[in-house]
Structure 1
Amino acid sequence: MDYIEAGTKKYWKASSALFAGGFITFAILYSTQPLLPVFSQRFHVSPEYSSLALSSTTGVLSFALLIAAVVSDRFGRKNIMTCSLVLSSAAAIGTAFSPNFLSLLVLRTMQGVVLAGMPSIAMAYVSEEFHERSLGAAMGLYVSGTTVGGMFGRIVVGMVSDFFSWRAALICVGLISFLFSLWFWAGLPEPEHFKIKNGSFSGIFQPFARHLKTLRLVCLFGIGFLLMGGFVTLFNYMGFLLMRPPFNLTQTEVGWMFAVYVFGTFSSTWMGKLADTKGKGLVLLIGMSIMMIGVLCTLVPSLMIKIIGVALYVFGFFGSHSIASGWVGSIALHDRAQAASLYLFFYYAGSSILGTFGGVLWQYSRWPGVVTMIVLCIFLAFGLETLLLRSGNHSR
């Protein structure tokens, strides 16, 4: 049984299917982010409370990922991922019919459960089925799908909600995601290196415990927590900043701000390939440095400089994420689904916890407070990478 290598027909089928899966996951997951100012106004809730429309999903998702990894070991990678995408698309349509904010939060929480069947299992699939020489590029293409999905979902939601309503916007995202889930099901090759595991219940959590005792993996988990927490915080409250004076942007204009995600689409693939040749440690350091420069640029009063800063931040973030997530698969030689789900547990926990805490900083110190938190997160991530590299020669 050969591994999937770049340049083959099988590689492009698998990569395009994983691209579609990443597209759906982020389009649905972050579809409510540009609507936070709308929810705050329509449902008469504070900015930090409205952020729960996103944080409730990512918070539940982080825990559900751990269960999804175990379930996929017993029922197969492709089966669980396909079911996850179809059910997520249906749930996205259901949220559009929420009569009040509480019911919206309940439905978004349920959405977090069904979305869990894709991210960690996709990382495990890439680690198991792709040749090591093609691993960085394949992970980069998957992350590119998440960037395009995140960008597309936010722009569509912003435009449709401006011209019609937020309900119509969520229905639109759900229908498009369903079509992409069919593409995923038809295109993804069946796993050839996966073996069903039927261990005892008591042994379910042993792989998680082993991974949490591995210092290098814990460092990567922490990096994911900090970088994703800062990333979500920036986009959660950027809309509140730009829709206020002196900018006074419309919902559509704020939605188009997410077009900067195209820079993440490029960086995740390019930096993933670069890490395969120049070393993961060096490229991750460069990616996080670009993030730092970008977020500091958003403090400049000029709208154009702010957008350039956000573009730089997105470029650095998605490049860094593709490297860190691929690095997990390189270190965890066994029980990779569990390792990937732990990385994403911390990744989405950061989104939920820091994304909501950023709302408190916004309330009391506005944008400078938000930027201060993000800068601190990046500095801590630098420290964790230093510890990771010093624990052994694993920069390549």
Structure 2
Amino acid sequence: MFALLYSTQPLLPELSRWFGVSAAASTLTVSLTTLTLAVGLLVAGPLSERFGRTRLVTLSLVAATLLGVACAAAPTWGLLLAARSAQGLALAGLPAVAVAYLNEELDGAVAGQAIGLYVGGNALGGMVGRLLAGALADLGGWRLAVGGIAVLGAACTAAVVVLLPPSRRFVAAQPGLETVARSARAVLTDPVLLGLYLLAALLMGAFVAVFNALGFRLEAPPYALSAALAGLVFLVYAFGSVASTTAGRLADRHGRRAVVPVAVVVMLAGLLGTAASPLVLVVLALAVMTVGFFAAHGVASGWVAARARAGGRATAQAASTYLFAYYVGSSVVGAAAGRAWTSSGWTGVLVLTAALVVLGCGVALLLARSTSLLQPGNPPVGG
């Protein structure tokens, strides 16, 4: 899913040249996709509460892969944006239910670590997709790159169909708009959940903005890297994969309230480090930023599901609302990154993103003071 979602991110400079659009316009191939994904989450979450988890995941991946092929064949800029927008809607099925599914099917003592592994899979998919897209773009242009990611999506979809166990503990919600509205009110009135939604929007917005602008920075002097070489910077996502899993274990042991603020501070430190000029220091700073982001996101997403479940709220709807905020932040700030780069270079991008992460530090500290909401048998994870 994440390879498909961000397949155009390392291709933004080439798309800008090919279609004759500005740097800011090229970021729409990412921002529109994440925006429609966010909208789709608002529908997919409630649907899964009624019709189940695994069926929605499979349908989502099949549709998104087919739309990936359509993106590669798009003859005009407008049709490419339309296909990417439709792909975002199709992709919503997996993230809308994944965390809820894991919380339902796994014992509470290991749920945090499992969700960390899931977020680590997100990071791995994003890294592999970006690296593959950059390499294929150097070989045969952006169409080969996007088509190659669609092939990867088809292989992963086949694996999911074969390997994903059906739900055993899922209990369908009662049908009707009244049930959906009642569930929506429940997940929008808990101040801890609201704080987690805000944190997701701030951190994801800053994170995507950095990587949206990064390709333009690395392909410009003094670095002047090719798309494939610039794409190698996404290897830092491997650190994010490890960080989310480790943070999940730490949250199971020490509590989410203790882990999230530290992770956000680590992200801020790495972000500020990207102001350095030597390429090796820039990449090191990006690795630190990635560690902090994925640690915070991995723990926060599990916190949402645990909090909702302990409070008797619809778990998938709470997780979908968290991801809605997450991708709205990605869409809005990711698009703003192109304008910041055009007007002020990396300094503009850094000012924009650092302000958001500083706000995120404040939200994380407020969340650290929240009270637990536990059911018998759940671990004391600050949910």
Partner SS for 2:197: helix
Mapped to 1, the partners of 2:372 and 2:256 lie a distance apart of 11
Match of 1:5 in 2: none
Partner SS for 1:383: helix
CA contact (8 A) 1:153 1:173 kept: yes
Quote how far apart the aligned CAs of 1:199 are.
Answer: 2.2
Quote how far apart the aligned CAs of 1:169 are.
Answer: 1.1
Which residues of 2 match residues 188-337 of structure 1 at below 5 A?
188-333=164-309, 334-337=313-316
Partner SS for 2:73: coil
Quote how far apart the aligned CAs of 1:129 are.
Answer: 1.1
CA contact (8 A) 1:215 1:388 kept: no
Match of 2:333 in 1: 354
CA contact (8 A) 1:229 1:353 kept: yes
Mapped to 2, the partners of 1:255 and 1:192 lie a distance apart of 41
CA contact (8 A) 1:56 1:108 kept: yes
Mapped to 1, the partners of 2:256 and 2:305 lie a distance apart of 13
1:379 aligns with 2:358: yes
1:64 aligns with 2:40: yes
1:53 aligns with 2:53: no
Match of 2:82 in 1: 106
User: In the alignment, which of 94, 98, 116 is matched to residue 122 of structure 1?
Assistant: 98
Write the letter of the residue equivalent to 1:371. L
Match of 1:12 in 2: none
Mapped to 2, the partners of 1:128 and 1:34 lie a distance apart of 36
1:156 aligns with 2:132: yes
CA contact (8 A) 2:266 2:292 kept: yes
Quote how far apart the aligned CAs of 1:393 are.
Answer: 4.5
Quote how far apart the aligned CAs of 1:271 are.
Answer: 0.9
Aligned length: 372
Which residues of 2 match residues 26-41 of structure 1 at below 5 A?
26-41=2-17
Write the letter of the residue equivalent to 1:136. G
Mapped to 1, the partners of 2:364 and 2:266 lie a distance apart of 15
User: In the alignment, which of 22, 28, 43 is matched to residue 19 of structure 2?
Assistant: 43
Partner SS for 1:199: coil
Match of 1:370 in 2: 349
Partner SS for 1:74: helix
Mapped to 2, the partners of 1:383 and 1:284 lie a distance apart of 11
Mapped to 2, the partners of 1:196 and 1:247 lie a distance apart of 54
Mapped to 2, the partners of 1:392 and 1:345 lie a distance apart of 24
Return the TM-score normalized by structure 1: 0.92
Mapped to 1, the partners of 2:178 and 2:262 lie a distance apart of 42
Give % identity.
Answer: 38
Mapped to 2, the partners of 1:225 and 1:181 lie a distance apart of 28
Q: Structure 1, residues 326-376: CA drift from partner, whole Å, max 9, x if none?
A: 000111022001000000000000000011112221121111111111111
1:169 aligns with 2:136: no
Partner SS for 2:195: helix
Partner SS for 2:21: coil
CA contact (8 A) 2:74 2:80 kept: yes
CA contact (8 A) 2:183 2:314 kept: yes
Match of 2:122 in 1: 146
Mapped to 1, the partners of 2:192 and 2:105 lie a distance apart of 23
CA contact (8 A) 2:49 2:314 kept: no
1:93 aligns with 2:72: no
Match of 2:377 in 1: none
CA contact (8 A) 2:258 2:368 kept: no
CA contact (8 A) 2:264 2:293 kept: yes
Mapped to 2, the partners of 1:253 and 1:242 lie a distance apart of 9
Return the TM-score normalized by structure 2: 0.95
Partner SS for 1:248: coil
Greater mean deviation of Cα atoms: 100-109 or 356-365 = 356-365
Mapped to 2, the partners of 1:92 and 1:141 lie a distance apart of 26
Quote how far apart the aligned CAs of 1:211 are.
Answer: 1.1
Mapped to 2, the partners of 1:393 and 1:139 lie a distance apart of 19
